[in-house]
Amino acid sequence: MTEAAPVPVVTVSNLIKQFGRFAALRGVTAEFSGGKLYAILGDNGAGKTTLLRTLAGLNQPSSGEILILGTNKFHDICQYVGYMAHPSLLYDEMSGMENLEYFARLYGIASSTRCAQVIRSVGLDPDLDRPVGQYSQGMRQRMSLARALLNDPRILLLDEPFSNVDLHSATEMVRLLVRTRDQGKTLFIVTHQASLLEGAADEFVWMESGKIVGRTRELKRPESAR
Amino acid sequence: MSAPTGITRATLLKDLRLEWRSKDAINSMLFFSLLVVVVFSFSFDPSAEESRQIAGGLIWVAFLFAAVVALNQTWAREIRNQVLDAYRVSPAPANSLFIAKTLGNFIFVSVLEALMTPLFVVFYRLRALGPVWQLLLVAALGTWALVVNGTFFAAMSLRTRSREIMLPLLLFPISIPALLAMVQSTTAILNGEGARFWIVLLASYDLVFTTVCLLLFETVLNAE
């Protein structure tokens, strides 16, 4: 008996995203299975962030289609998606806990226990009273990751989660992300620090000029991407 | 998912907390209004009768200009660190955000009015000949007219390069009917005349524009 092919959690068909006359995505077509960690790599301007923002529902495709968990209606599945952007998406004047308590309400999470739990999971102290504006860049990144994890998403979209994070903390973050993947979640991580994900990522997705030009199991730029 | 009212409440409390800590909007509005009161009181020396004729226009123009400061601030917070994106990717309804922002601005501008009105009364020796409760009604309806459109247009001009200029350009022309009703009703009440027509006009304006803003806000929020 042949093994059934895994059902894709994300299907992208001929996705084009234009900003005025500039095409940031030029016909991206791909399928991504569940329970995997995908590292999306490429030079600046390759379209990685645009792809992630489009998957998050923040950019509308100019043409083409995205199916997430079988639907193209983002509003139906947004409670299953977590998104971490390059900026922190946090209020500088509030503490980490206050920020998370507010965002938790948007997802219908009323308990502070969950907020404290995710803050601890990224290695921060939920009782830290300082406003986020006074955090170091690394702490802010980790708090931003905590916000993305808050709703226990099935799909996690992370844009440059390791930027400005020291090596020790970044390694800890990778361990947390691997644990999250092992719980059956699907992760898409845009990063320029690909070496951190060597051995952790299931697949490296290489982008260039708004297209996916290769997918590899190892951290090795494919011939097509050169 | 939380009920929309729960999200509105959480967003409103968050905005009040942020304003309490920074006092950005209230300080700028107070300073601006104070300048208007003092400068105009030195420029003119009206009699009690003349004051009743000009006060309606003066008060509402001062509050309109001051409100623009608060309206710009309210969305500036959401743009910093792109926090608005965190709301957009959540399942929370767009209108909960709009209502919370409008209520927040209503509170800020009402606080300003409560603090500045006594100064207007003293500097311009104002004494209403009509019923004061009608003035309170006009204040509530007029403030809502300013903030509901202001919150909407501030969101619309959010992604434009010069949003501080864009907001008054969009807001002032559309506020002319409301401003007219606010000024005319205030002047009528101060002079002990009937203001029923203007109050009904103001209430109708509020109803129409609140409905239109609620219908269109989701499109504005998700515009690229």
Asked if B77 lies within 8 A of A91 by C-beta distance, the reply is yes
- The pLDDT mean for chain B works out to 90
The predicted pLDDT at position B38 comes to 84
State percent of chain A over pLDDT 90.
Answer: 81
Cα of B91 to nearest chain A Cα, Å: 6
The predicted pLDDT at position A54 comes to 95
State percent of chain B over pLDDT 70.
Answer: 99
Asked if B91 lies within 8 A of A90 by C-beta distance, the reply is no
Model ipTM value: 0.91
Contacts of A90 in chain B (CB under 8 A): 81, 83, 86
Residue A45 has pLDDT above 70, yes or no: yes
The predicted pLDDT at position A5 comes to 62
The minimal CB distance from A105 to the residues B7, B83, B85 is found for B7
Three-state SS letters, chain B:
CCCHHHHHHHHHHHHHHHHHHHCHHHHHHHHHHHHHHHHHHHHCCCCHHHHHHHHHHHHHHHHHHHHHHHHHHHHHHHHHHHHHHHHHCCCCCHHHHHHHHHHHHHHHHHHHHHHHHHHHHHHCCCCCCCCHHHHHHHHHHHHHHHHHHHHHHHHHCCCCCCHHHHHHHHHHHHHHHHHHHHHHHHHHHHCCCCCHHHHHHHHHHHHHHHHHHHHHHHHHHCCC
* Band of pLDDT at residue A157, cut at 50, 70 and 90: very high
- Find, in chain B, the residue whose alpha carbon is nearest to that of A20: B224
- pTM, entire model: 0.91
The predicted pLDDT at position B224 comes to 76
Considering only A4-18, A172-186, B178-192, which range has the smallest mean pLDDT? A4-18
Asked if B90 lies within 8 A of A103 by C-beta distance, the reply is yes
Counting as low any pLDDT under 50, the low residues of chain B are: none
* Band of pLDDT at residue A3, cut at 50, 70 and 90: low
